[in-house]
Amino acid sequence: MHVQFKRYWRLLTTNLFQPLNRYWRLLAHYLRPQWVWMCLLAVILFSTICVQVSTPLLAGYFIDQATSGGAMNYLIILALLTMGLALAGQGLAVAETYVAENVSWAATNALRADLVAHLLRLDASFHAAHTPGELIERVDGDVATLARFFSRFVVYVLGNAILLLGVLGLLYHVDWRVGLAMSAFVVLALIAMLRIRALATPSWAADRQASADFYGFLGEYLAGLQDIKSSGAGAFVLRRCAEMMRSWLAVTRKAQMWGYSMVATSQGLFALGTAAAFALGAMLFRSGALTLGMVYLIFQCTEMLRQPTEQIRNEMQDLQQADASIARIEALLNTVPRVVDGPGVALPSGPLAVEWDGVSFGYAEDVPVLRDVRVSLAPGRVLGVVGRTGSGKTTLTRLLLRFYDPQVGAVRLGAWTCVRRISRRCVRASVWLPRR
């Protein structure tokens, strides 16, 4: 028994607390500017919890007073209080939605801005390897899946955990046997959901990648629509589109099935829990240990246990997608440019000398575009470079502007200073590139 408990505890800490360290860093960074709204959201949520716990208590007390012949005026007051709490709960739900949406939009837009700024700092080799459609999907699509994560995850999980404890406390207050039975069902449901979430994360990562690949494909072929028409390649493009959509459907179906399995597991466990609560309530009522109002309270508390557990389940379903999106966002933010900025050597004013000294370069390392190019151009001199398409004319200017660095040799600018030692901002401010 002790070994089994240790195994379940290790499962709980591995699947929940360890990943939360990574989530917390992201949340703390983007929610810190929203701390006022987050405090307001927490106040609204905890007010909602108080209303939810108080409502069945009043209803159960009302039933006991009605069955024991309580005064009519007192019963009317209790009924009005119960209705007032129900209306207050609806108003708090509207307020919570408004505040949470404000927080999520502000946080996700800040993350989008940081991702776009980081992408703009990456060099051309990165953008050559990733299509615009793929990058748009990673900047917008991956971030969009984090909207609920930013606005509700911490507050909802913490708030619903407190609500679960409060409802279980009520059940223990009514009868310890009922409280123990329902505690067992809640623990089993949470362990099952944590396990499913861990298993589902790779499937959601594959779904996000398939989505990015499809939109990258779409953007690339839409940009070349005229060439596709002129070459009669429409059938080929449609066939490739169908193949990519079939691949995307397969990984999405697998990911969605993990989500449905979480729903089915929690609903099945709580169906058993509700049956057990009814059986215990009926047995205790027949033995005279509970009043009718207490039996109603057990029923209401069982339903109330379902709501926070389902809320936590929904957060875990969102966390399945957030897991994959956060990993992809972190991978993007951890991508470093191959072209590293120089220490910032100053360039002289006026015309500058330019030299390509033994430069060899290829966009793919095994396919060279330039081989041992040696060109020296004095200040004020003009050089015309003529050649067929793909011979490396544009590549020379890209190396000069430090969109790429040569694999072999050096490019020098102004007093024969290697461009690697000059900041990219300074290089690009000193070179004028007229468009054809």
Q: What is the CATH number of the domain that holds 65?
A: 1.20.1560.10
Q: How far apart are CA 398 and CA 58, in angstroms?
A: 75
Core vs surface per residue 280-295: b (16+ CB within 10 A) or e:
bbeebeeeeebbebbb
Please check whether residues 299 and 366 belong to one and the same domain: no
Please check whether residues 297 and 385 belong to one and the same domain: no
Average pLDDT over residues 376-388: 82
Please check whether residues 260 and 383 belong to one and the same domain: no
Any domain includes 147: yes
The string of DSSP letters for 288-307 reads TSS-HHHHHHHHHHHHHHHH
What is the phi/psi pair of residue 272, to 5°? -65, -40
Any domain includes 216: yes
- Can you tell me whether residue 423 is helix, strand or coil? coil
22 in Cβ contact with 326 (< 8 Å) = yes
> How confident is the model over 233-287, as pLDDT tens digits?
788 888 888 888 888 888 888 888 877 777 777 777 777 777 777 787 778 778 7
Of the three residues 299, 333, 367, the one that is the final residue of a domain is 333
Please check whether residues 297 and 426 belong to one and the same domain: no
- Range from 72-76, 102-106, 227-231, 270-274 that averages highest in pLDDT: 102-106
Please check whether residues 308 and 363 belong to one and the same domain: no
Reported confidence tier of residue 151, pLDDT bands at 50, 70, 90: low
Q: Which pLDDT score, from 0 to 100, does residue 10 have? A: 55
* Integer CA distances (angstroms), 203 to 15, 56, 213, in order: 16, 41, 15
More confident residue, 20 or 308: 308
Q: How far apart are CA 409 and CA 418, in angstroms?
A: 10
Q: How far apart are CA 412 and CA 418, in angstroms?
A: 4
Alpha carbon 53 to chain centroid, angstroms:
32
Alpha carbon 56 to chain centroid, angstroms:
36
Please check whether residues 278 and 373 belong to one and the same domain: no
Element (H, E) at 227: helix 225-231
Q: Which pLDDT score, from 0 to 100, does residue 135 have? A: 81
Any domain includes 3: no
Core vs surface per residue 241-251: b (16+ CB within 10 A) or e:
eeebeeebeeb
**Domain span holding position 286:** 11-333
The residue among 164, 195, 173, 198 whose CA lies nearest residue 273 is 164
Share the mean pLDDT of the chain.
Answer: 77
Any domain includes 349: no
Q: How far apart are CA 51 and CA 28, in angstroms?
A: 29
Please provide the distance, in angstroms rounded to a whole number, between the alpha carbons at the two ends of the chain: 77
Q: Which pLDDT score, from 0 to 100, does residue 267 have? A: 75
Please check whether residues 321 and 367 belong to one and the same domain: no
* Integer CA distances (angstroms), 131 to 334, 367, 376, in order: 19, 21, 36
* pTM, rounded to two decimals: 0.61
Residue 360's DSSP bridge partners are 408
Reported confidence tier of residue 368, pLDDT bands at 50, 70, 90: confident
Please check whether residues 173 and 223 belong to one and the same domain: yes
Residue 393 per-residue DSSP state: H
Q: Which pLDDT score, from 0 to 100, does residue 134 have? A: 77
Average pLDDT over residues 6-26: 57
Is it the case that residue 363 has pLDDT exceeding 70?
yes
Any domain includes 340: no
Structural domain count, the chain: 2
> How confident is the model over 295-342, as pLDDT tens digits?
777 777 777 777 777 777 667 666 666 777 777 888 888 888 877 777
Is it the case that residue 126 has pLDDT exceeding 70?
yes
User: Could you tell me the maximum CA-CA distance found in the chain, to the nearest angstrom?
Assistant: 108
29 in Cβ contact with 38 (< 8 Å) = no
Q: Which pLDDT score, from 0 to 100, does residue 99 have? A: 86
Which pair of structure tokens corresponds to residue 257? 């099935």
Any domain includes 422: yes
Reported confidence tier of residue 20, pLDDT bands at 50, 70, 90: low
